[in-house]
Amino acid sequence: MPVDDRPGDGDGNEATTGTPLISGTNVVKEYQTGGQTIRALKRIDFRIDEADSVAIVGPSGSGKSTLLNLLGLLDVPTSGEIRLRKQDVATLSDSERNRERKQTIGFVFQSYYLIPTLTALENVEMPRMLDRTPKKTRDRATELLERVGLSDRLDHAPDELSGGQKQRVAIARSLINDPELVLADEPTGNLDRDTGDQILDLFEELRAEEGVAVVMVTHDEYVAEAADRVVNLVDGTLRAPDTATRADGGHRDRE
Amino acid sequence: MSRLYRLTGRFPVVVIAWRNVSRAKARSALAAAAIVIGVVAIGAIGAGGAAFKQSQFQSIQEQGATDVFVAPGIDKEPGHFDREDVKAIEETVGSAGVVATRGGEAEWVRRGDRRESVSITYMDDPRSLYTINDGAIPENWRRSIVVSNEFAQEHGLGPESRLTLALDEDTGATYRVVAVLAATQGFGSSDVYLPIEQAPAREYDQVRVRTRSVDRAESTADALRERFNDREDRLLVFELTSLVRLLKTIVNGINVFLTGLGSISLLVAGVSITNTMLMAVIKRREEIGVLRATGYGKADIVRILLVEAVILGVIGVVVGLAIAFVVASVANAIFLGDPLAFTSDSLLYLLGAAAFGILTSLIAGAYPAWRAANERPVDALRG
Ligand SMILES: Nc1ncnc2c1ncn2[C@@H]1O[C@H](COP(=O)(O)OP(=O)(O)OP(=O)(O)O)[C@@H](O)[C@H]1O
Ligand SMILES: [Mg+2]
């Protein structure tokens, strides 16, 4: 399993190298529900670099998905600042965020969210379908499905695939636009250990070979161990992980 | 890579939309069926009504809608036209043809001294108003008689038949039939036609002005009234134009009313499509969220959903037009005697029905599309 061999990935001192892919400072996210304000993230800082491999762990309701949505530009923080490379994402318009999502970020969801009317191959092509480069897109999609070991399932509908196969299709889909960051919310949550291992291996391969940063939310200790860093979220704040050896909890613990 | 794929790859929105439409087959079919009903209602009622209108106008035309009928007015002294009067009318109407006639009656003396009254029209040349079906009118028409089709049929007459007419009480003269006219629904036809020379006096009691169109008939009638009826009513001018106009208004009104009813069914179709699309959008909430998360813009979502709605509309319109076309053909066959005798009006109704059908589906799809596009992907993908 992954070996922590990146230089400068020690305790709290790696923040000095290069521009982070995405970083946040004093990020607060609040939800308004029925006159009540829920603080899902309470002034947290984070930083994700190229080829990073980060696991976000924490109890239910601690703000993991909220954080992932912010990283994925699906949502904006209530206060604080998130920068994609050097760009403050708050200054991006809706359509600019859309474009960044398409070009920079790939999503893998716990429940796959494949489009049932499209075949495996078409699902992988989907984020790029509107580009009208059918041949290039198809070649790339075929290649990606081969890579996740599904070259014999190209024309299968999602409901003809097993859970692990669906998740692999979803991963292939997240990679169709050659993203720099893959965000996965419990990518192995519905899978048995063997299949989960395959998925994790795949992520590790991508990270090592293509420099793709992978951030995944998980409840599974075992899955978290596979990541280079573990970020522990508790009640909207970052904590030093129990298994304190490798992960630095996003550079700095608040409080 | 297949050629089909190269083609469909050019229209990804249509491909995605088509898959979604064909996914919920029953629901899509019902929504399209609503459009079918609307299109059939508008198209068939409109086109059928147009055929009916056309048939009515044809018969009015045959009855002389392009003619102006002129009779002596109440102030005319004496109460008939002479050569001078006819000439004056001719001058007023310009290029239009003028046919002066005189009506009369006679006793037809049949075998066994049975007598039967027949109506007579005296005129210069029956060919100026009617067509000949059988026989021919001689160059110098002085003594022979021309009979109407109905009269000939009723009494088994034809060219070379003879009939004795008693114009006055006793004296009977025998005439040889030279021609039988073609059947006509014409206004003011009589049983037999005799040369004007046979009339008791060289007087006319009706002048018929033949124009080429309904509009000209009307302007001719106006010109006559202006010239002769300035202070006194010397002429009784009568044209069918006003009748045609009234009929047109009534038929158009009925047609518009009926197609209006048809439009209501299209409105219902619109509601049905909106409902179908809303259900689809709610069912596909997460799917749409994924599209948005992977870089599809709001406009892309709107486009996909509008194309879906329009696909439903197009299916409905194609089927609806086919049915409406059949119905309209039947109406054409009934009213105009030819299933393919589409008038420009009826084609316009069919075209309008198609356009309305598609427009309806587009409008009906707008709200669901807008709603789906404006849902934030975070909300759609939560839970
Ligand atoms: N849209 C929302 N409106 C209101 N409250 C929300 C919303 N989304 C999240 N929350 C609240 O914010 C907090 C963090 O939610 P979040 O979904 O990030 O938790 P999580 O760590 O992903 O939990 P889980 O492990 O169960 O998925 C929770 O208390 C939740 O109730
Ligand atoms: Mg969550």
Q: How confident is the model at residue A4 (pLDDT cuts 50, 70, 90)?
A: very low
* Average pLDDT estimate for A231-244: 78
| Residue A22 belongs to some domain of the structure | no
- Please tell me whether residues B82 and B210 are part of one structural domain: yes
* Average pLDDT estimate for B310-317: 94
Residue A11: what pLDDT?
43
- Please tell me whether residues B192 and B45 are part of one structural domain: no
Residue A236: what pLDDT?
92
- Please tell me whether residues B166 and B253 are part of one structural domain: no
Residue A53: what pLDDT?
92
Digit-coded pLDDT (tens) for B54-64? 888 777 776 77
| Residue A212 belongs to some domain of the structure | yes
Query: Is pLDDT at B214 greater than 80 in this prediction?
Result: no
- Please tell me whether residues B262 and B332 are part of one structural domain: yes
**Domain span at residue A154?**
49-74+88-246
Instruction: Quote the number of domains for chain A.
Output: 1
For residues A67 and A27, what is the distance between their CA atoms, to the nearest angstrom?
A: 9
Residue B383: what pLDDT?
61
| Residue A64 belongs to some domain of the structure | yes
Query: Is pLDDT at A170 greater than 50 in this prediction?
Result: yes
Domain boundary among B180, B213, B239: B239
Nearest to A135 among B1, B23, B376 (CB): B1
**Domain span at residue B134?**
67-239
Q: Give, using CA atoms, the residue closest to atom 5 of ligand 1.
A: A31
| Residue A116 belongs to some domain of the structure | yes
CATH of the domain at A234: 3.40.50.300
| Residue A237 belongs to some domain of the structure | yes
- Chain A residues whose CB is inside 8 A of the B286 CB are 111, 113
- Please tell me whether residues B250 and B233 are part of one structural domain: no
| Residue A13 belongs to some domain of the structure | no
- Please tell me whether residues B204 and B291 are part of one structural domain: no
Domain boundary among B211, B239, B267: B239
**Lookup result for tokens 């020379």:** B197
For residues A108 and A116, what is the distance between their CA atoms, to the nearest angstrom?
A: 16
Instruction: Quote the number of domains for chain B.
Output: 2
Token reading at A231: 């970020």
Q: How confident is the model at residue B29 (pLDDT cuts 50, 70, 90)?
A: very high
Q: Where do runs of H (alpha helix) occur along chain B?
A: 3-8, 12-23, 25-62, 83-93, 149-155, 214-228, 241-283, 285-293, 298-336, 344-374, 377-381
- Please tell me whether residues B86 and B219 are part of one structural domain: yes
For residues B20 and B160, what is the distance between their CA atoms, to the nearest angstrom?
A: 80
- Please tell me whether residues B191 and B277 are part of one structural domain: no
Query: Is pLDDT at A184 greater than 70 in this prediction?
Result: yes
- Please tell me whether residues B21 and B84 are part of one structural domain: no
| Residue A104 belongs to some domain of the structure | yes
Residue B310: what pLDDT?
94
Pocket test residue of A28, A66, A190 for ligand 1, highest count of atoms within 8 A of CB: A66
- Please tell me whether residues B368 and B251 are part of one structural domain: yes
Domain boundary among B177, B204, B239: B239
Residue A5: what pLDDT?
43
| Residue A17 belongs to some domain of the structure | no
Query: Which residues of A fall below an 8 Å CB-CB distance to B?
Result: 65, 69, 72, 74-75, 94-95, 98-99, 101-103, 106-107, 109, 111, 113, 115-118, 126-127, 129-130, 132, 134-135, 137-138, 173, 177
Chain B residue at shortest CA distance from A95: B297
* Average pLDDT estimate for B344-356: 90
For residues B377 and B285, what is the distance between their CA atoms, to the nearest angstrom?
A: 9
- Please tell me whether residues B71 and B199 are part of one structural domain: yes
pTM assigned to the model? 0.74
Digit-coded pLDDT (tens) for B254-288? 888 888 888 888 889 999 999 989 998 999 999 99
Q: How confident is the model at residue A145 (pLDDT cuts 50, 70, 90)?
A: very high
Q: How confident is the model at residue B185 (pLDDT cuts 50, 70, 90)?
A: low
Share of chain B above pLDDT 70, in %: 96
Average pLDDT across chain B, whole number = 86
Q: How confident is the model at residue A223 (pLDDT cuts 50, 70, 90)?
A: confident
Query: Is pLDDT at B296 greater than 70 in this prediction?
Result: yes
Query: Is pLDDT at B103 greater than 60 in this prediction?
Result: yes
B55-69, B193-207, B308-322: which has the highest mean pLDDT? B308-322
Q: How confident is the model at residue B361 (pLDDT cuts 50, 70, 90)?
A: very high
Inter-axis angle of helices B25-62 and B344-374, to 10 degrees? 150
- Please tell me whether residues B212 and B273 are part of one structural domain: no
For residues B54 and B345, what is the distance between their CA atoms, to the nearest angstrom?
A: 9
